[in-house]
Amino acid sequence: MVAMVEETPKVQLGRRLTRCLYREWLLDPSFPPPWRTTGLVGGAVRPNHKTLAIYLLGVFIGALDMNVLGPAFPAISRSFHIDFAVTAWAITTYSIAYVASTALSGGWGDRMGHRRVFRLGVGLFGIASLLAALSPNWAVFLLARVVQGAGAGAVYPNAQAEGIQQFPAAKRGMALGIFGAVFGVASIIGPNLGGALTQFWGWPTIFLINVPLALLVLMSARGLPTSLANPERDIPDWVGGVAFAMVLAAGLLAISGHSWGFRLVFLALALLAAGGFAYRQRTAPTPFLDARPLVNRVGILLILGAAVIGLDMSSAVFVPALAQHTFGIGPLASGAALMPAAGAGALLSGAGGMMTDRMGARLVLMLGLLSAAGGALLLASTPLTWPRFILAMMLFGVGTAFTVGAPINKLGLSLYRENQAAEALALTAVFRSVGVAAGPIVLTMAEAWHGFRGMYGAVAVASVLGVILFSRVPNRRIPTTEPSTSSQA
């Protein structure tokens, strides 16, 4: 006879929310077959602001998740009884999964339709958020972060690829700027929301808040027009994707290990995975990364520069911890301390897109990285006062507006054909996410060496390196062409 176990209210809540997410995600009868396509009238793009808003909301919940986490890092460290440096893996595991998922889901979106893959990603993200909130230990929490990253990786490139189709080609920079502004809005709401939830209701609530948002997106997306799909579209090699993720994870473990034996083991694993990845790139019918458009000076600079931008992005996660340590404030106030950066980023994201259309990506990226370098130098200065801190946050906001979104994405789009828009955006996000994944590990190592001064000194050096890299990109406007019916993704 099997004993009946009484469910706690927490378990009952998790079961009900999971069932609701499952029903909306997998059992939606409105899913069309991938060969049914609509959305064009006479070969021209038909603007649909409702469609754009739903895709923007999907991107928003992923951006919000990254921003709510910062004020909660000290509380998460205490909850799981781990060192502060170990909490960096909450970002790194998410980012590694995001890297692999983004590149693969871009191709799947081109083949199956972006709407369908978008909804799959949102559903996966919502279920993983629930798992993170209910995690009994650090291992389960990291597993949830991996699944979250995989879901978010499916959302971002497909939402962008579908969203930019609501604009003519000449206005694609503006469209990408709007998506960048979503990150700016999330950077305003996220830290304040994360600080308030952590201080008054505990850190698990910063993940529970994602569940109703994911449900809202799933229900709203049921009425979206069916995306154009190409059933003959080749899918990137998933084995190569797994090998790529293993290279990144093992390499970072080799760097961050506390003993030479530990480092050597993971270095060997990283080299083995790198060999497997190189083999799959040569032999797979459709390699995980279509590197052919990147085998030139602009492509190589794009890879390195996007990684630098990702490292700069990851440094913002530690700003609330810096504020709590330096000024002795709580999670709520430390979240609000990011407001100058978030406000400047949100206000200038659209301007960054328009400047990219007029000036080209190179100059805008250089201005953004110079601004980020100035902000990092202020945070690394001693003594750090409130006026210096606020000015540093404003400079970081300018840097975010002029690097994330339109400038780097427009440069990536220039290297691919029109019908590879999702893949171009996905690969740009991959290289940026490599920096986001490596950043927390590198920066917490710098913090262990010389405190927060060492951490943000490293950010300043990386930003100057990025300026040098992008200064080598040809100073020209990125060419655009009007999309045709046959080239829509």
Of residues 261 and 328, more confidently modeled: 328
Let me know whether 215 and 82 are in one domain. yes
Let me know whether 254 and 214 are in one domain. no
- Alpha-carbon dihedral angle through residues 186, 187, 191, 192, given to the nearest 10 degrees: -70
228 in a structural domain: no
68 in a structural domain: yes
Q: Does residue 43 register a pLDDT over 50?
A: no
The pLDDT value given to residue 302: 83
If one counts the domains in the chain, the total is: 2
Let me know whether 319 and 430 are in one domain. yes
Let me know whether 211 and 253 are in one domain. no
The pLDDT value given to residue 174: 66
Of residues 186 and 180, more confidently modeled: 186
Of residues 345 and 379, more confidently modeled: 379
Let me know whether 206 and 263 are in one domain. no
230 in a structural domain: no
Q: State the average pLDDT over residues 327-349.
A: 82
Cβ distance 8 to 16 under 8 Å? no
Cα separation, 372 vs 254, in Å, equals 29
Q: Report in angstroms the alpha-carbon separations of 475 from 154, 174, 375, 417, 441.
A: 32, 20, 26, 21, 34
Using only C-alpha atoms, the chain has a radius of gyration, in whole angstroms, of: 22
The pLDDT value given to residue 331: 84
Structural domain of 325? 48-222+288-480
Q: Does residue 28 register a pLDDT over 50?
A: no
Q: Is the peptide bond before 383 cis (omega within 30 degrees of 0)?
A: yes
Let me know whether 125 and 274 are in one domain. no
| H or E element that contains 422 | helix 421-471
What's the token pair of residue 355?
């400047």
Q: Does residue 478 register a pLDDT over 80?
A: no
SS3 149: helix
The pLDDT value given to residue 489: 31
The pLDDT value given to residue 386: 92
Provide the whole-model pTM. Answer: 0.71
> Can you give the length of the chain in residues?
489
The pLDDT value given to residue 457: 93
The pLDDT value given to residue 45: 47
Q: Which of 1-5, 150-154, 371-375 has the highest mean pLDDT?
A: 371-375
Let me know whether 196 and 302 are in one domain. yes
The pLDDT value given to residue 344: 83
Q: Does residue 205 register a pLDDT over 50?
A: yes
- Per the prediction, the chain carries an average pLDDT of 77
CATH number at residue 430: 1.20.1250.20
Of residues 118 and 295, more confidently modeled: 118
Span 410-463, pLDDT tens digits: 777 776 666 666 566 667 777 887 888 788 888 888 888 888 899 999 999 999
Cα separation, 118 vs 75, in Å, equals 32
Span 108-136, pLDDT tens digits: 777 777 778 888 999 999 999 999 999 99
SS3 134: coil
Let me know whether 312 and 447 are in one domain. yes
Q: Does residue 367 register a pLDDT over 80?
A: yes
24 in a structural domain: no
Let me know whether 328 and 448 are in one domain. yes
Q: Which of 287, 308, 326 is the last residue of a domain?
A: 287
Cβ distance 425 to 160 under 8 Å? yes
423 in a structural domain: yes
What's the token pair of residue 451?
């405190």
